[in-house]
Structure formats: structure tokens, C-alpha cells
Amino acid sequence: MIDREQVLHVARLARLELTEDEVGRMSDELSAVLGHIEKIDELDLDGVPPTTHVVEVSNALRPDEVQPSLPREVALASAPAVAGGGFLVPSPQADADPS
Amino acid sequence: MSATDVTLLSAAAAADAVERGELSADELFEAYRAAAAGDELNAYLWVAEDAPAAPAPGAPLAGVPLAVKDLFCTEGVPSQAGSKILEGYRPPYTASVVARLAAAGAPLLGKTNQDEFAMGSSNENSAFGPVLNPWDRTRVPGGSSGGSAAAVAAGSAPWALGTDTGGSIRQPAALCGIVGLKPTYGTVSRYGMIAFASSLDQAGPLTRDVTDAALLLRHMVAQDRRDSTSIGLPGEIELPRSESLRGIRLGVPEELSRADVGIDPGVLETFNATLRLAESLGATIETCHLPHAPHALSAYYVLAPAEASSNLARYDGVRYGLRVQDGGLVGMYTKTRSQGFGREVKRRIMLGTYSLSSGYYDAYYGRAQRVRTKIADDFRTAFEKFDFVVTPTAPSVAFELGAKTADPLAMYLNDYCTVPMSLAGIPAISIPNGLSDGLPTGFQLCGPAFSENRILDAAHALEQAIGFDGSGGRIDA
């Protein structure tokens, strides 16, 4: 079960703002999905190592050579706002609740 | 040749016709460009206006055009992964695999519709509206590579690129009556693919037949210095020729092939008919066990959303796409993300953020990673005894638009038979397996890592024996 308070907490962590309707729906839907997921509690997984990636290669190295990268103006071309050769963002100090 | 005759050729046959001088690359491109521009299925989000430069002399793909799922970055061409949050984004570079295929002679025909950020099994999660199934326009094409599958089935693309995280190539291929292959994780570069779940995402071909899948895959596979998880394949992909399954041992996992786990009777009927056909081609067939496969979906819906919640943190209104102003910086992040992401994407970000959050990490993420190990072990054990494991691709035929949008869990169950292979990172193909109630079903065949050539051979033998008629999906039929 994931209740209203948890939904609001997780939404804040994810930088999402939910309408009152969305909070209720999210609580129901996530609870249903988590209910299904919790079936893995039945399994005995003691001593089983976790899999983080499936490729059986480790420490693959390549020569560290400088390669061309995107020119600055190309990298900035898609940005909503730029200034002084960088991305322009609103001031964090203008946030009512900067958490 | 009339334009319709041209689009009836398989991609390999079209390449041969160009090489023999019976067809010009321009004529071929224009026939498909016109078909794609006239698309009535909402399969395309962008179609090329001009014919590309002629393919280099001797280019192996001879100018056969390629439809590409929206989430592959294509320089100067809209690439939004089916999302509103990337509004107006035209990438400054092209995905490695798309560039490789263009260099081999397969120019970009168009960008295909998809579920937003590849999250979905019906294409109803696209910000640009659903794709219609060409066999029955009241039904979904599957997802998330639904636009690619519908375009190939309808004949408005000779072949297409898709991506598969938990079944997003194989399931729409099954629902549209075409071939879809998810390669071994790491064989194809992910550079320039807009990420969903990086430890699972893999690009693959959607084609009308197995030979085309082999031909396209041959030119996709490569190690790429820009994707540290890419390893390529030990040898070259061969064009399949086999017409026999003599000596091949097929394992049928009880956990993924029974009515009581939710596989429709009609789908099972076509699956069992193909098992008998495989036997007549010389294969031996035995029941096998993947005891942890019933838990694959649970593990997947922890791991994939967790990776997604992290990958999608980059959509913050700073560097590209949508920005919605609201006072300060955090306000801007929050408004941008809340207005830019669709409902399913928000749901998965929430699920992933929850399972990674303090106090829940071990119970969800940690356990799911251990289940993943057990699932890979199950396959390893099965492959000690069997050459391939075979299952129905999807539990049902294409369902009605809107039928499952209100119930996320019911939608997720579409991936029941395809998610286990994704978690294990092994290759799997879906081939058309006849009709149930007039709609296509898929037969899935998977093998150990890097067994693509053997899978393609076996799939080719089965394809010849099944003799599927895909004309029911053609828009010009």
C-alpha cells in the first residue's frame, strides 16, 4: 500500500506536481502494481548475488584519446534560454520552497 | 515496376533489384516516401521530404530506406521519443546505429510513433496519439515500437528499427504479423538512443521476414567506443538458409505456455500447431522449467522504472525541449516535468523513485536484482539441455483501443512472455505464427547470448514451414 502522504513525498522527490485527482489515482494504481511486485517476497533469495548488468565483461578499457565533441554553440542551440555561452536558468532564490 | 509492386518486395529483394539495375534507388525511395506520407495509421511522426543522395556504389543495403523509431536521435530531424517534453528537439547528432545503417546504404525514410519514452505495450501512451493496427484499425498495434511494426506490416516501410526493453520489439511484431528481433544485450550500440532503462534497452530490426531481419542486423552490430556496454558479436551475421530443424532440441517452459497463466486459448492453439510443425521438421520437443519466470514481471517493474526515474531526471527544462517558467529553479523543474510528461511516464517515475527511496531500496530494488540473477540462471540451466526455449510472444492477439488503459497491471501483463529474456540479456525473435480470430499471433524463440545466427536459422526454417500470409495487414491489399 502506498498512501496519499507517501505519494506526495515521492512526487516531491521526483519533481512532479500532481493534481488532487492524480494523487488519489496514483495511490490506487501504485498500490495495485506494488501488490503484484510483492509476490517476490515469497522467494528465498538468501545468498543470491544481485545482477546489475548482464554483459560478462569487466574493466573494459580503451585508449584515452581526445576526440572531437560538440562545439559550444551547437550544444546550446536546443536550449530554451542561453546567456554568456551557458544555459540560462531561473534563480533558485526565487523559489518559494527551495527544497 | 509500379509503386505498389515495388513496396511488395522484401527489403532483401528490393536491394537485389537495385543491384541488378531493375529498379533505381530513387524510384524505391519515392515509392516508400509516398506510402509513408499517405500513412493513415498514425505510424509516422515525420517523413523525409527529399530523396537522399544515391547510395555509394556497392553499398550492401543499396538504398533500401529505413523507418526509425522516434527515440533514435537523428541530426536535424525531430526526435522526441513520443513525448511532449522534448517539444521542438532536433538533435545535433545521429545515433550510432542509424549512422551505421545509412553508411551501409539504408537512408532515413521517417520517424515512427511510439509509446512515450518506450513505456507501454499498446502505443496509446504516445503524446501524438495511438497508432492503429493495420489488420484492424479499432485495435492497438502493440508497443512500444508500435509505429515501426504497423509501418512494416502495412507496407509503408520496407523495414524498421525499434527498441526492446521488456518486449517492445517482439510484442508489436507479434500483434502486427511481422518479424521482430531483440539481439543479445550489448551487440548494438545504444549511443543516441533516448534512454528508458539502460541495463535492458536494446535496438533491433522489425521486418517482413527472417532474412530481412538478418540482413538489417548484420549492419547494426558493432562495438562502439561511445557506448561502454557495447561489445558487438563474435562473428558476422549470416543470411539464414536452413529449412530443417533436424537435431534441434526445443524446450517449452511450462511457466510461459499454459492457459492458466493467462495465455489465450486461440494463441495457444497456433503455438501448439507450430510445435507440431517443428517436430515434422526434425526438432525434438520437451517441456522445460523456468521456475522464476513467473516473477520476472515483478522484478522488471522494479528495475525498469528505477532506471527510468534516474534516466528521466535529465528532462528539467534546462538544455533542450519544453520549459515552463514558475518563479525559481525548482518551480521551473517541477512545472516543466508535470506538464511535459504523460500519465504512464509519471507513473513509472513515481514507481522507480519510490523503490529507490530510503527505507524501500533493499525490499524492492535489491530483491529485484537478485530475482534477475535467478532468472538468468534458469535460462542457463535450460540451455544445457535445449538449443532454444520457445513460447508464445504475447498472451493475446491485438486488443481493442482503450481496452486496458484504465488498468496498468493488465497492460503490464502483455509482457509476461517477453520480459524474462530481457532480464537475462539473451536474444529472442518473434515470427508470425498464423491467425487467431483473423488477427496475427507470434511465436517466440530465444537462445543463449550471442546465438543470433542459430536463432535466425531456426526461425527461417519455421517461417518457411508456417508460410504466413501477411497480406491482411497491407494498406494496399
The domains found in chain A, sorted by start residue, are: 4-42 (1.10.20.60)
> What is the number of alpha carbons within 13 Å of residue B76 lying toward its C-beta?
2
Which of A33, A57, A70 lies nearest to residue B92, judging by beta carbons?
A: A70
Q: Does A31 touch chain B (CB under 8 A)?
A: no
Taking contacts as CB-CB distances below 8 angstroms, the residues of chain A near B322 are 80
Which of B185, B199, B371 lies nearest to residue A43, judging by beta carbons?
A: B371
Q: Distance between CA atoms of B217 and B101, rounded to whole angstroms? A: 9
Got the DSSP string for B193-254?
A: BPPS-TTT-EEEEEESSHHHHHHHHHTTB---TT-TT----SSPPPPP-----TT-EEEEEG
Contact A15 B325 (CB under 8 A): no
Rg of chain B in Å (alpha carbons): 21
Contact B225 A62 (CB under 8 A): yes
B451 given a catalytic annotation: no
Axis-axis angle for helices B265-280, B452-466 (nearest 10): 100
CA distance A91 to chain B (A): 5
Q: For residue B38, give the amino acid letter.
A: G
List Cα–Cα distances, A30 to A4, A10, B302, in angstroms: 11, 12, 12
Which helix (H) or strand (E) segment holds residue B304: the answer is helix B296-311
B205 and B181 Cβ atoms separated by less than 8 Å:
yes
Q: Distance between CA atoms of B125 and B111, rounded to whole angstroms? A: 17
Q: Which residue, among B197, B216, B214, has the nearest Cα to B68 in the 3D structure?
A: B216
Contact A15 B334 (CB under 8 A): yes
B286 and B386 Cβ atoms separated by less than 8 Å:
yes
Bond from prior residue into B144 cis (ω within 30 degrees of 0): yes
Q: Does A59 touch chain B (CB under 8 A)?
A: no
pLDDT average per 10 residues of sequence, chain B (477 residues): 88 97 96 97 96 91 98 98 97 98 98 98 98 98 98 98 98 98 98 97 98 98 93 94 97 95 96 98 98 97 97 97 94 97 97 93 94 98 98 98 93 96 98 97 98 98 97 83
Which of B225, B302, B369 lies nearest to residue A37, judging by beta carbons?
A: B302
Give strand pairing partners of B442: B432
Predicted complex ipTM: 0.95
Cell numbers at residue B420, please?
A: 524474462
CA distance A72 to chain B (A): 11
Q: Does A49 touch chain B (CB under 8 A)?
A: yes
Q: For residue B221, give the amino acid letter.
A: V
CA distance B309 to chain A (A): 8
B122 given a catalytic annotation: no
Whether residue A98 is predicted with pLDDT greater than 60 in this model: the reply is no
Taking contacts as CB-CB distances below 8 angstroms, the residues of chain A near B201 are none
Mutation site, B187, B233, B298, interface A, largest A CB count within 10 A: B298
Contact B333 A15 (CB under 8 A): yes
Q: Look-up: residue for cell 495511490?
A: A27
Q: Which residue, among B169, B163, B173, has the nearest Cα to B198 in the 3D structure?
A: B163
pLDDT of residue B126: 98
Contact A16 B346 (CB under 8 A): yes
Beta strand pairing status for B179-182 and B428-436? antiparallel
Q: Residue B151, Cα to own-chain centre: how many angstroms?
A: 13
Residue A61: which residues within 8 A CB-CB, separation 6 or more?
Answer: none
Phi-psi region of B137 (alpha: psi -120 to 50; beta: other; left: phi over 0): alpha
Q: For residue A70, give the amino acid letter.
A: L
Give strand pairing partners of B182: B428
Contact A30 B317 (CB under 8 A): no
B408 and B359 Cβ atoms separated by less than 8 Å:
no
Taking contacts as CB-CB distances below 8 angstroms, the residues of chain A near B328 are 90-96, 98
Q: Distance between CA atoms of B312 and B198, rounded to whole angstroms? A: 11
pLDDT of residue B3: 78
Taking contacts as CB-CB distances below 8 angstroms, the residues of chain B near A62 are 225
Task: Tell me phi and psi for residue B40, to 5 degrees.
Answer: -110, 5
Task: Tell me phi and psi for residue B181, to 5 degrees.
Answer: -125, 125
Choose, from B121, B168, B430, B436, the residue flagged as catalytic.
B168
Contact B351 A30 (CB under 8 A): yes
Mutation site, B350, B365, B419, interface A, largest A CB count within 10 A: B350
Question: pLDDT tens across A15-52, in order?
Answer: 999 999 999 999 999 999 999 999 999 999 999 999 98
Contact B298 A36 (CB under 8 A): yes
Q: For residue B425, give the amino acid letter.
A: G
CA distance A24 to chain B (A): 12
pLDDT of residue B193: 98
* Domains, in order of start, for chain B: 3-248+452-473 (3.90.1300.10), 294-367 (no CATH)
Q: For residue B33, give the amino acid letter.
A: R
Q: Look-up: residue for cell 543516441?
A: B192
B346 given a catalytic annotation: no
B184 and B452 Cβ atoms separated by less than 8 Å:
yes
Sheet holding B428-436, edge to edge: B44-47, B108-112, B66-69, B159-164, B202-207, B179-182, B428-436, B439-446, B388-392, B249-253, B284-288
Mutation site, B326, B330, B407, interface A, largest A CB count within 10 A: B330
Choose, from B69, B111, B182, B404, the residue flagged as catalytic.
B69
B151 and B11 Cβ atoms separated by less than 8 Å:
no
**Count of A–B CB contacts within 8 Å?**
175
Contact A51 B372 (CB under 8 A): yes
Q: Does A99 touch chain B (CB under 8 A)?
A: yes
Taking contacts as CB-CB distances below 8 angstroms, the residues of chain A near B298 are 36-40
